[in-house]
Amino acid sequence: MTEKITMPQLGESVTEGTISSWLVKEGDQVNKYDPIAEIMTDKVNAEVPTSIAGTITEIVASEGETIAVGDLMCYIKTEGSQEPTETSDGSDKREEISKTEVSQSKPEDQSMKKRYSPAVLRMAQENDIDLEQVDGTGKGGRISRKDIERIIKSGETPKKVAKTEMPTEPVKDTSPKRSVEQVSKSAPPVQDGDVEIPVTGVRKAIANNMVKSKTEIPHAWMTVEVDVTDLVKYRNQIKGEFKEKEGFNLTFFAFFVKAVAQTLKEYPQLNSMWAEDKIIQKKNINLSIAVAKGQELFVPVIKHADEKSIKGIAKDINELASKARDGKLTQSDMEGGTFTVNNTGSFGSISSMGVINHPQAAILQVESIVKRPVIMNDMFAARDMVNLSLSLDHRVLDGLVCGQFLARLKEILENINSATTNVY
């Protein structure tokens, strides 16, 4: 018999995924648990295995297409499906299935024409395409991303036609007469020498998540300046010995992450999420951190950061960054984050305001450590200074508690030195 393979849910808040590439083609034999496709979401990249053995009979979703969790990806004919089985009325079930497959492949079958993927809907809306007038090439007349891309490329865009009971004259397509100003409102003009870069994969996932964050979350911001001269001196004293002993680097960022985890224990309000009719204050302190792989950005999670030493956090940072570079981050590595700490200082930034990682309530930007002249005891002194910038969800948090959080975090960081702190 023929079985359906659907888009799995690859994370607790994941609702859709983009098919990066198919690892099989129609006609291929697959064993149970063989990977058949690479899927990209806003949380993780993962291979999707098949739960059954058989033959790939039809691939429904195209590469680059974004489909919702539970949507059809492909059909697999299971082993032994060639054997005829009789139905209750004595008819040949194999013949019945065969007839069904034939009827589904006929052009007149339009049963899936209106099952649009999110990607198809977005592209149609952005390009003013009437999907009712598009002939889909997918199973059951389903319209795929490639169908829309072909229409856009051809320039023959089906427009929505206003319906009237008694049309007195043909409806004219006035789109060629639109002014340059009108066109520019929908899309910037493309001129000779411009490069058009399709928005796909990680960039599309980031874009969708950022739009959701900015449209749903009322952002507010606060910044404090912190003197980390003693922290810098202490870390520089022990970094060589630490690397030789442990085999990985002791970064400044590990100290900041540990300090944030400690401060969240004292101010758990910032470790919360908005849930419409209530605020959920999370018990576990799981810190999301941003790591890059080329042009791709991932946000893995350091679990139970408050229970770990600076050395333990440094080890987690090193392992998560290595897994990101090697493409080995798992779904478990990416889920469960309750607060984000972003190391923008690694790019030389000294001031920035982060967009909150939905559905969290806050994100902290750790900027670059810069040596600056500071007045101490009415005299100038060269000190290592860093800005900490907090973005907060104003539905969940107010300025008072966030100001207290930053003041306490500043106090902890300014008192890290060889006498007060043990990285182990």
42 is catalytic: no
Backbone φ, ψ for residue 261 (5° rounding)? -60, -40
Buried/exposed code over 173-206 (b: 16+ C-beta within 10 A; e: otherwise):
eeeeeeeeeeeeeeeeeeeeeeeeeeebbbebbb
Q: Mapped to the 3 state alphabet, what secondary structure does 260-323 carry?
A: HHHHHHHCHHHCEEECCCCEEECCCCCEEECEEECCEEECCEECCHHHCCHHHHHHHHHHHHHH
Q: If phi over 0 gives left and psi between -120 and 50 gives alpha, with beta otherwise, what is residue 421?
A: beta
* 3-state class (DSSP) for residue 422: coil
What's the Cα-to-Cα distance from 228 to each of 5, 262, 371, rounded to whole Å? 54, 17, 10
* Catalytic, out of 92, 135, 173, 394: 394
Query: Which residue(s) pair with 279 in the sheet?
Result: 274
**For residues 286 and 133, what is the distance between their CA atoms, to the nearest angstrom?**
49
394 is catalytic: yes
**For residues 43 and 205, what is the distance between their CA atoms, to the nearest angstrom?**
8
What's the Cα-to-Cα distance from 287 to each of 75, 239, 262, 320, 322, rounded to whole Å? 40, 23, 12, 12, 17
Instruction: Give the long-range contacts of residues 99-107, CB within 8 A, separation 24 or more.
Output: 101/2, 101/57, 104/139, 104/140, 105/139, 107/141
| Cβ contacts of 215 within 8 Å, gap of 6 or more | none
Give just the sign of the alpha carbon dihedral 319, 321, 326, 330: positive
Instruction: Catalogue the active-site residues.
Output: 394, 398
